[in-house]
Amino acid sequence: MKRYVIRRLLEMVPTTLGVLVLTFLLFHVVGGSPAEVVLGKNATAEALATFDARYGYDKPLLCGNWTAIRALGAFPGGRLERRGETGLSHVPIAYALPAGTYRINAGRVLLGLRESATGAADEAMVDGPAPLTFAVREGWKVSTLDVGGPLPATLRLQKKTDGFLDSQFIRYGRALLTGDFGVSTEHNLPVTRVLKAGVGPSLSLTVPILVGGTLVGVMLGLMCAAWRGGAADKVVLVLSTVLMSVNYVVWVLAGQFLLAFKLRLFPIWGFESFAYLVLPVLIGIVSGLGRDVRFFRAAILDEVYKPYVRTAQAKGLSGGRIMVRHVLRNSLIPIVTYISLSIPFLFTGSLMLESFFGIPGLGNVSLNAIHSSDMAVVRAVVILGALLYQGVNLVTDLCYAWLDPRVRLG
Amino acid sequence: MSALIDEKRNGALKGERTVWKKLWRRWDTRLCLLTVGIYCLAATYGEGVYQYYRAADQTAPYNAVHESCRYVPPAFVRVLTGTPAVAGCSLYPLGSDNLGRDVFQRLVQGTRIAFHVGIITSLIAIPLGVILGCLGGYFGGRVDSLVVWLCATVASMPGLLFILAIAMVVGQGLLGVYLGIGLTTWVSVCRNVRGEVIKHRGRAYVQAAQVLGYSHARIMFRHILPNVTHIILIAFSIRFPASVATEVFISFLGIGVQGEPSWGIMINNARLRLWQGVWWEMTFVTLAIFALVLAFNHLADALRDLLDPALRTEQV
């Protein structure tokens, strides 16, 4: 048992790494610059650079000693005009370069330096084979930049990182290991605090849905299996296909309009008392019922034709007792697997129900984050959901052994 | 040897032809096939209209605003209640919305978008799942471990949220929806195909092909794949309605298509007027989605019963 748990935990490592790589690829590589997404197209390069530095997006993606910066980007060096007797060309930079070590692929640079505190100006000339490296001392900034010597087709200015592994990916992995999901750009709060506030409301909505849905589903499934082929079975089967085909959006809107608005049975919107939860829970149960009943019925029917059922009947046990004590017990494994698959969603919440009924849960938080491009929050919910899924899978496998003594772990 | 292989392949194809016949013979599945056929025609017509007005660079009739014809009830309601037609307005078989746009024409356009989403996401998810499943199942060993790892990784992502995140990152519009749904739903196809290919790997016809010295690719895709096409068919019949439903949800949230009348956008629009008693737009969009999804779901059930009774109702 212990060895099995350890082995399963080790098996989770590559999958977790996969989840990290996938989310990293999605949010850092495919998504382009988060600064541009959050600040918009009209933001100045300086604002973008400040945003990057603040959230660590100015580091290289995987590893490297140098990282591209926004002050210059890729600039067409050949088109620069040479001026004056120095023979140097003036390079427009988008903002004053702060302290740090820089590298430029030119043979000669003239730096116009300015001390931030006193405003004192200074100049420095660096000569040598391209690329040139120069350092700016603490408290000073580079306000003008002139280059000379043989110029390359594109001028590149890069900043030195704190180390070869000082990259976005390493920082990201390290932060996640310590449980730090970064700062929400929308709320300006640590993501963990934003998420913690959402867990309670989400659970108060999703736990009743899961428990209620499972109970009703299993009861209907048992009923169908007991009277298989009969009228009740057929009606439930047809109804479940119909229920499955109604769009989720429609359930929510119809519930709100007919039950809450027309009949005034429930409050329409809000999260103040228990009454506000009744309608969303009801909708959650009904919308999932079709799929659940069909699955439970199939799982129970797999057992109904087995010889032990006939033995039980021959012993003269009542039909109800056979169904519940014998058949249900044996069909619990697929049922538990099925239920366990929806447990991660208990925490990530129900996007639709929460946003429609104004329940401040995780689903609502993540939907708002998607609308306002708050990457850190979306990323955190995705990762947490994936980790929970794996954890729940492990617990489910352990449950098998408890439910069915024939299952040997290890 | 090759006779054995041909026989196997023809058997699979013949099986598929009789499946269509069987579906056509039952009244309920025939109704479903007819419904899907009508939607196909509507989608094709909608595509034609869309392309025509795009090429002519004009505002399409389904987007044309008629200020004087707002909230016109459906034609049959007007006949039943005896309401006189508003002068200067067209027929409006299913009524008009808050800008005087024809609900019927917008529904047809919605069908077009739903089919785009259903087909394109299937074209992303199914080939991806089939190729990875074939590779993993056929080669086993490290290749299989890699495929299983990929499946486990993607499967552990929280479904809808992951789709929304992809759609958000890729950018607004349908491309994000295609990629979001397509890149997250190949896992179940892959698992089913992999399981089936593992079953076939040891069979005599595969060994025969290997003895004949055929390449791995040829054995996988020309010999084994035709025998697992039923999985592809079932996967399509499950994926299509699921993708349509997801698209409705995503466009409803305003993350999907922009400026075109998708069903999700129509619902979002109609929801605001519902409180004012404008019931027709909401009712007909809901019915349109319901009928298509129901027909597909029922066909998927029938196909599964006919082709592979062992396959369980799967999670989406």
Centre a 10 Å sphere on the Cβ of residue B27 and count the other Cβ atoms it contains.
8
Place of tokens 């619902």: B267
Residue B239 and residue B233: Cα distance in Å, rounded? 10
* pLDDT for residue A77: 54
Residue A190 and residue A170: Cα distance in Å, rounded? 19
**Interface membership of A18 toward B (CB under 8 Å):** yes
Residue A363 and residue A64: Cα distance in Å, rounded? 37
- For chain A, 410 residues long, the average pLDDT of each consecutive 10-residue run is 84 88 81 72 78 79 79 58 69 81 83 84 82 84 80 78 81 82 82 88 91 94 89 91 89 88 83 86 91 91 89 89 88 88 76 87 88 84 87 85 71
Tokens matching residue B241: 């309605």
Residue B126 and residue B149: Cα distance in Å, rounded? 18
| Chain A residues inside the 8 Å CB shell of B168 | 370, 373, 378
- Scanning B232-261 for CB atoms below 8 A from A yields 241, 245, 248-249, 252-255
Tokens matching residue A362: 């995780």
Residue A369 and residue B162: Cα distance in Å, rounded? 13
Checking if the pLDDT of B290 tops 90, the result is yes
Place of tokens 């997801």: B246
**3-class DSSP assignment, residue A119:** coil
Which is nearest to A115 in space by CA: A145, A138, A92? Answer: A138
Q: Which pLDDT band, with edges at 50, 70 and 90, does B79 fall under?
A: confident
Contact predicate A374/A185, CB 8 Å: yes
Query: Mean pLDDT across the stretch B113-132?
Result: 95
Among B36, B145, B147, B168, the residue to mutate for chain A (most A Cβ within 10 A) = B168
Q: Which residues make Cβ contacts (< 8 Å) with residue A378, sequence separation at least 6?
A: A27, A366, A369, A370, B161, B165, B168
Looking at this predicted complex, what is its ipTM? 0.81
Angle subtended by helix axes A2-24 and B141-155, to nearest 10:
70
* pLDDT for residue B119: 95
Q: B241: nearest CA in chain A?
A: A245
Tokens matching residue A407: 């299952």
Q: What is the CA radius of gyration of chain B?
A: 23
Cis bond before residue A131 (omega within 30° of 0)? yes
| Chain A residues inside the 8 Å CB shell of B169 | 26-27, 30-31
Burial, A85: exposed, middle or buried (Cβ in 10 Å; 0-12, 13-18, 19+)? Answer: exposed
Q: Which pLDDT band, with edges at 50, 70 and 90, does B206 fall under?
A: very high
Question: b or e along A359-381 (b: 16 or more beta carbons within 10 Å of the residue's beta carbon)?
Answer: bbbbbbbbbbbbebbbbbbbbbb
> H/E element holding A366?
helix A362-371
* pLDDT for residue B4: 52
Question: b or e along A177-196 (b: 16 or more beta carbons within 10 Å of the residue's beta carbon)?
Answer: eeeebbbbbbbeeebeebbe
Residue B215 and residue B54: Cα distance in Å, rounded? 47
Nearest to A26 among B150, B155, B165 (CB): B165
Residue A221 and residue A232: Cα distance in Å, rounded? 11
Place of tokens 């080669």: B139
pTM of the model: 0.83
Nearest to A344 among B152, B158, B271 (CB): B158
| Distance from the A115 Cα atom to the nearest Cα atom in chain B, whole angstroms | 40
* pLDDT for residue A341: 81
CA distances from B10 to A180, B15, B190 (A): 58, 8, 24
CA distances from B278 to A53, A251, B95, B283 (A): 52, 18, 10, 10
Q: What is the CA radius of gyration of chain A?
A: 31
Residue A373 and residue A29: Cα distance in Å, rounded? 15
Residue A328 and residue A220: Cα distance in Å, rounded? 12
**Interface membership of B274 toward A (CB under 8 Å):** yes
Residue B162's Cα: distance from chain center in Å? 19
Residue B306 and residue A180: Cα distance in Å, rounded? 52
Q: B275: nearest CA in chain A?
A: A257
The overall average pLDDT reported for chain B is: 86
Q: Which residues make Cβ contacts (< 8 Å) with residue A100, sequence separation at least 6?
A: A135, A136, A159, A160
Q: Which residues make Cβ contacts (< 8 Å) with residue A1, sequence separation at least 6?
A: A401, A409, A410
Q: Which segments of B74-228 does DSSP mark as H helices, in order?
A: 75-81, 103-139, 141-155, 159-170, 174-184, 186-201, 204-211, 216-218
Instruction: Check CB contact under 8 Å for A245 and B160.
Output: no
Which is nearest to B228 in space by CA: B204, B271, B194? Answer: B194
Q: A377: nearest CA in chain B?
A: B165
Residue A240 and residue A225: Cα distance in Å, rounded? 14
| Distance from the A370 Cα atom to the nearest Cα atom in chain B, whole angstroms | 7
Centre a 10 Å sphere on the Cβ of residue B248 and count the other Cβ atoms it contains.
30
Tokens matching residue B40: 């196909």
Instruction: Check CB contact under 8 Å for A298 and B162.
Output: no
Nearest to B158 among A291, A345, A352 (CB): A345
| Distance from the B170 Cα atom to the nearest Cα atom in chain A, whole angstroms | 6
